[in-house]
């Protein structure tokens, strides 16, 4: 807490300044209650377009809209007081031109209160990143496995192996030189992630990359075990809430069918208590 009694909200410059220091803690959030739980623990909270798959049952992130990102961004913002909130730009909202990207990024920030936006792509998005940054839109970049490009990448495969490593180096240099304040490295071999982290002047945030990155990000529903079947290799279950939820739901269903719930303490009588 500051001397005025208010908690200082982290800014993109604060995250950039963490390069080479204490690791950056980042998680996704899509709802107010989840944002409230992570606010005092996370440095950066990402309203990811993964919301389409996690909460809306979409087969990929490609069907996520601006309206969905704004709705969930507004919900997350209500739960944050300290962490920097970054909102993903959905597929089709920024690729056409820098001008299109600015219009949509400005709308996301204005309607959600986000401190920055995140977009996918390396060398080919450098011009757009520079255009946004020069106009007051802080940008978190995202290279490696970029889920919005899953169809051209041929699936959710590791990126940067063998001769492909130089492409990732070039992407990393391009987004840093364009003015991104940090960059997500997704599904990149550990040695390559370490080399990129050492090379760049901006923080790297790994997901399926390396413990040597400047920070880490996971989808909160994955790390809390809210999915009982789906578990990527790079996810560690820090809780098993999905299993606990299934047990609770089954117990509720059994008591309803047995008419043991609601019990006397859960219903109201006719008398007015004095």
* Residue 120 counted as an annotated binding residue: yes
What is the distance between the alpha carbons of residues 114 and 92, in angstroms, rounded to a whole number? 20
Whole-model pTM: value is 0.93
* Residue 50 counted as an annotated binding residue: yes
* Residue 194 counted as an annotated binding residue: no
Spell out where the chain has E strands: 24-28, 44-47, 84-88, 116-120, 139-144, 182-186, 204-207, 215-218
> Residue 19: what are its φ and ψ, rounded to 5°?
-55, 125
Residues 23-32: tens digit of each pLDDT: 999 999 999 9
Q: Say if residues 84 and 116 touch (Cβ distance below 8 Å).
A: yes
Give pLDDT, residue 153.
86
Give pLDDT, residue 5.
47
Residues of the chain with pLDDT below 70 are 1-6, 228, 230, 274
Whole-angstrom CA distances from 134 to 31, 141, 179, 186 are 31, 15, 8, 26
Quote the Cα angle for 212-216-219, to 5°.
150
Give pLDDT, residue 274.
64
Quote the Cα angle for 62-101-126, to 5°.
95
- Joined together, the tokens standing for residue 179 give 């003015």
Q: Which is the catalytic residue, given 96, 186, 255, 265?
A: 186
67 catalytic residue (yes or no): no
Residues 89-100: tens digit of each pLDDT: 999 999 999 999
* Residue 49 counted as an annotated binding residue: yes
Domain spans in the chain, listed from the N-terminal domain onward: 12-236, 240-267
Regarding the domain with residue range 12-236, which homologous superfamily does it belong to in the CATH classification?
Phosphoenolpyruvate-binding domains (3.20.20.60)
């Amino acid at each position: 807490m500051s001397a005025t009694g208010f908690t200082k909200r982290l800014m993109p410059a604060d995250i950039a300044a963490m390069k080479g220091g204490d690791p950056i803690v980042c998680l996704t959030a899509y709802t107010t209650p989840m944002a409230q739980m992570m606010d005092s623990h996370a440095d950066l909270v990402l309203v990811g377009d993964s919301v389409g798959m996690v909460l809306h049952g979409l087969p990929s992130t490609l069907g996520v809209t601006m309206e969905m990102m704004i709705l969930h961004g507004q919900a997350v913002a209500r739960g944050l007081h300290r962490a920097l909130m970054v909102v993903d730009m959905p597929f089709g909202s920024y690729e056409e031109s820098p001008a299109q990207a600015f219009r949509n990024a400005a709308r996301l920030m204005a309607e959600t209160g986000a401190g920055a936006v995140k977009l996918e792509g390396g060398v080919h998005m450098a011009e757009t990143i520079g255009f946004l940054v020069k106009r007051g839109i802080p940008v978190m970049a995202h290279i490696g496995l970029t889920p919005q490009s899953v169809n051209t990448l041929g699936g959710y495969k590791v990126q940067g192996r063998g001769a492909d490593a130089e492409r990732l180096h070039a992407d990393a240099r391009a987004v840093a030189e364009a003015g991104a304040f940090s960059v997500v490295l997704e599904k990149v071999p550990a040695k390559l992630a370490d080399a990129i982290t050492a090379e760049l002047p901006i923080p790297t945030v790994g997901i399926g990359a390396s413990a040597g990155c400047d920070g880490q990000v996971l989808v909160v529903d994955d790390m809390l075990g809210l999915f009982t079947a789906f578990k990527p290799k790079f996810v560690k279950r820090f809780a098993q809430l999905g299993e606990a939820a299934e047990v609770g739901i089954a117990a509720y269903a059994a008591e309803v069918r047995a008419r043991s719930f609601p019990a006397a303490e859960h219903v109201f009588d006719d008398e007015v208590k004095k």
